[in-house]
Amino acid sequence: MRNTVLLLVSMLILAGGGGKSVHDNVLLAEWTGPYGGVPAFDKMVLHDLKPALEAAMAANLEEIDAIASNPEAATFENTIVAMERTGKVLDRVEAYYGIWRANRSTPEFRAIQNEMAPKLAEHRTKISQNSALFARIKTVYESEEMKTLRPDQQRLAWLVYDRFARNGATLEGEAKKRYAAINKRLAELHTAFGNNILADEEGYVTYINEEQLGGLSESFIAAAAVAATEHGHDGEYAITNTRSSMDPFLSSSDERDLREKVWRTYYSRGDNGDEQDNNKILTEILQLRHERARLLGFDNFASWRLQDRMAKTPARALELMQAVWPAALARVQEEVADMQAVADREGAGITIEPWDYRHYAEKVRKEKYDLDSDEVKNYLQLDKLREAMFYVAGELFSFDFVPVTQGSVPVFHEDVKVWEVTDKGSGNHVGLWYLDPYARPGKRSGAWATTYRSRENLGELKTVLGSNNSNFIKGAPGEPVLISWSDARTLFHEFGHALHYLSSNVDYPTLNGGVRDYTEFQSQLLERWVLTEPVIENYLVHYQTGDPIPAELVAKIRKASTFNQGFQNAEYIASALLDMMYHTMDPTGLDPDAFEKEALAKLNMPREIVMRHRSPHFGHIFSSEGYAAGYYGYLWADVLTSDAAEAFQAAPGGYYDKELAKNLVDNLFAPRNSVDPAEAYRTFRGRDAEIDALMRDRGFPVPF
């Protein structure tokens, strides 16, 4: 089939008038070179993208039609497994597409994206609504053969059947057409929403001068100077409109007026009443999602979305959030009182406002715990933390990370570095890990992990190709990049995702997916290793002296571990609650700004805190459907995280207990989605996770 697909792709491109064959369009070509073939990131050319996507989609449909029209009786092998083998050309093209979308976006790419995103959605809908194909899938799922399959094969058949059934395969006539039209329109809207956020992040930069640097650390000042130069403002200092720049500025700057300006600029993304305003877009998104859910027989989008999640229903997700919410609000009151007392003693003559919270929280931290975040940052070098992650991966997963020779593996930017991952015990090759650490124009904000190729057998073991991406502010040449304690945890968090896909032992591509309120668990758990003894002793070292972080400073960090939990929980849970409200309501006539304000008032949201993601820039839920009605998943996963962390704390070898680590990898990392998450966790822990561990972890009262 592979040669047939390549021939078809070549013919399609030639027919399109471009005069190129499959061998000329690098985006379509087989990946060649070392490590089982790698993406030709150094040769990707934007004008190849549209024809490559069109040809790959057409070839994919040919593969699907061949399965659907197979005259032989439907079996697991000729239907389910055959489907798992399809779409490899499109997978390759979408790996490049993802780089342009997340790491190298430009106005020229966005024009192509605006055109192709709905076409890609239409393509997926054509497959999910292929009646003949679904009939074969259903035949296999309901057959006696199912009883003879391995458990992972049974789960695969169920996942495929459920995916089709929940995505319109059972619809007919006008309902089927309307469903397809909704999907196409949603793809357009998701793309526009995300691009509007990126435009506001790129377009709104605050420039300050040397007289306005009071309170800022030397490392931040140096990075801000570099950022200003890159934006054509040499001699000034740039506060970019991203969390990685906003957060430390609000924490440290003595300039209250500037703090307010930076705060308002950041939290107004997508809400400026201009051509990048997202309010109408998100309203239409909600209306279409609600309509689509009703077409499928569900009361609302959230009820449809949560069917295959651990929570199962919106009510269970809300129950968890509402159990933590009162404790978070009570803690916020305490935090604000402490901050106001500091401001009053200083004679500041102010009432704490949202742009003061981070700043005065730092003052309280220093006063209560004698803990200075800038002092901690001196021991948090990006390169050293990366080495610490490799150490942890070696101890728990038996992975060894070795940098590849520069130039031997193509990269899409000079800042990207690549490591080969091998198994320390057998020496076997596992995969490649790419790291893209620095912020730049055209790169989406935040931190994330992604895969270019997942591990799967299907008769041939595949090398895993995956990456971690961050937005740290690049320092001056030769200077180490110092990051905050929160960013250090995030770095480990995203690496947890990387370890999840690198440790996979599944046989089928679909089983490399995940359940959203479960897959954050593995990454959140890895954050716990930042403050383990080997990491403290060997990698948290002063950037100037090389001395390990002092024991007394570590003790302060541990003592302050539940500090500011009111702020952190309130800003997050408010966003998660609004997400669930949006997706359980009838959004007809919705005014997002008014609804957000009214809903937060009903929740008794403290005036000193804003949602972590205000609605017009809530990319998690409106630039795609990945976290839609699922942002609660971080909290759900953190129940598992806190519970599992207590298991390690009680183990004879602590966080490096070999037996428990093997249990963790074998049952919670390697199986990916080949085992039901609840069953997997019970196998690991011997019982279900308990919320009490979460409450203890955050310093909240444990419910009776």
In SS3 terms, 600-657 reads as HHHCCCCCCCCCCCCHHHCHHHHCCCCCCCCCCHHHHHHHHHHHHHHHHHHCCCHHHC
> Residue 600 is which amino acid?
L
Whether 339 and 358 have beta carbons less than 8 Å apart is answered as no
Q: What does the alpha-carbon distance between residue 538 and residue 540 come to, in Å, rounded to a whole number?
A: 6
Quick one: which of 527, 461, 526 has its CA closest to 664?
Answer: 526
State residue 207 phi and psi, 5-degree precision.
-105, 135
How far apart, in whole angstroms, are the C-alpha atoms of residue 265 and residue 207? 12
Question: For residues 3 and 388, is the Cβ–Cβ distance under 8 A?
Answer: no
Check residue 458 and give its pLDDT: 83
- Look at residue 656 in the predicted model and tell me its pLDDT: 98
Phi, psi angles (nearest 5°) of residue 237: -135, 130
Strand order across the beta sheet in which 464-472 lies: 399-403, 417-423, 429-438, 464-472, 448-453
User: Which domains does the chain show, CATH number per domain?
Assistant: 2-170 (1.10.1370.40), 204-267 (no CATH), 382-509+529-559 (1.10.1370.40)
User: Which single residue is written with the structure tokens 């990051």?
Assistant: 483
So what's the pLDDT on residue 5?
53
Euclidean distance between CA atoms 409 and 402, whole angstroms: 13
The answer to whether the CB of 214 falls within 8 A of the CB of 359 is no
Q: Is 543 helix (H, G, I), strand (E, B) or coil?
A: coil
Least confident of 8-12, 118-122, 544-548: 8-12
Give the pLDDT band (50/70/90) at residue 11: low
Per-residue pLDDT for 606 more than 90?
Answer: yes
* pLDDT confidence tier of residue 20, bands split at 50, 70 and 90: low
Q: What's the pTM?
A: 0.89
Q: Which helix (H) or strand (E) holds 571?
A: helix 565-582
Residues with catalytic annotation? Answer: 494
Q: How many CB atoms lie within 10 A of CB 632?
A: 28
Q: How confident is the model at residue 17 (pLDDT cuts 50, 70, 90)?
A: very low
- Using an 8 Å Cβ cutoff, are 101 and 136 in contact? no
Closest CA to 311 of 504, 572, 576, 615: 576
448-453 and 429-438 beta bridge pairing: unpaired
**Do 573 and 635 touch, CB atoms closer than 8 A?**
yes
Question: Beta strand 237-239 with 464-472: parallel, antiparallel or unpaired?
Answer: unpaired
Closest CA to 516 of 622, 344, 410, 632: 632
- Per the CB < 8 A criterion, the answer to whether 673 and 159 are in contact is yes
pLDDT of residue 15: 47
Tokens found for residue 350: 């102010």
pLDDT of residue 121: 94
Predicted confidence band of residue 23 (pLDDT cuts 50, 70, 90)? low
Residue 322, both tokens: 């509402």
pLDDT at 478: 87
**Which among 434, 444, 450, 446 has a CA at the least distance from the CA of 470?**
446
pLDDT in tens, 302-330: 999 999 899 999 999 999 999 999 999 99
Q: List pLDDT tens digits, range 24-34.
A: 899 999 999 99
| Interval 155-214: pLDDT, tens | 999 999 999 999 989 999 999 999 999 999 999 999 999 999 999 999 999 999 999 999
Instruction: Please report which residue ranges of 34-104 form alpha helices under DSSP H.
Output: 49-68, 82-84, 88-102
Distant-in-sequence, close-in-space partners of 551: CB < 8 Å, separation ≥ 6: none
* C-alpha span between 188 and 280 (Å, rounded): 13
Q: What is the DSSP secondary-structure string of 106-137? A: -HHHHHHHHHHHHHHHHHHHHHHT-HHHHHHH
CA-CA distance, 176 to 463, in Å (whole number)? 39
Average pLDDT score over residue span 250-276: 97
> Which residues touch 162 (CB under 8 Å, ≥6 apart)?
308
Distance CA 246, CA 480 (A): 20
Residue 19 has pLDDT above 80, yes or no: no
User: Which three-class secondary structure state does DSSP give residue 443?
Assistant: coil
- Rounded to an integer, what distance in angstroms lies between the CA atom of residue 692 and that of residue 643? 8
The pLDDT of residue 449 is above 70: yes
Structure tokens at 171: 């619809």
Distance CA 652, CA 240 (A): 46
Coil/strand/helix, residue 698: coil
Q: How far apart are CA 388 and CA 401, in angstroms?
A: 11
Which regions of 385-457 does DSSP assign to beta strands (E)? 399-403, 417-423, 429-438, 448-453
Q: Tell me the average pLDDT of the chain.
A: 94
Residues with Cβ within 8 Å of residue 161, at least 6 apart in sequence: 137, 138, 140, 141
**Cβ-contact 584, 303 below 8 angstroms:** yes
Rounded to whole angstroms, the Cα distance separating 487 from 380 reads 9
* Structure confidence at residue 18 as a pLDDT band (50, 70, 90): very low
The sign of the CA dihedral 233, 234, 235, 238 is positive
Q: Which two tokens stand for residue 602?
A: 């009903």
Residues found in the chain: 704
Q: What is the pLDDT of residues 466-512, one digit of tens each?
A: 999 999 988 888 899 999 999 999 999 999 999 999 999 999 999 99
Burial class (CB in 10 A: 0-12, 13-18, 19+), 353: middle
For residue 675, the model assigns a pLDDT of 96
Distance between CA atoms of 36 and 631, rounded to whole angstroms? 36
Banded model confidence at residue 456, pLDDT cuts 50, 70, 90: confident
Q: Is residue 467 within a helix (H) or strand (E), and if so which, with residue range? A: strand 464-472
How far from the centroid of its chain's Cα atoms is residue 160's Cα? Answer: 24
Token pair listed for 363: 């003052």
Residue that has been written with the tokens 């400026």 in this structure: 272
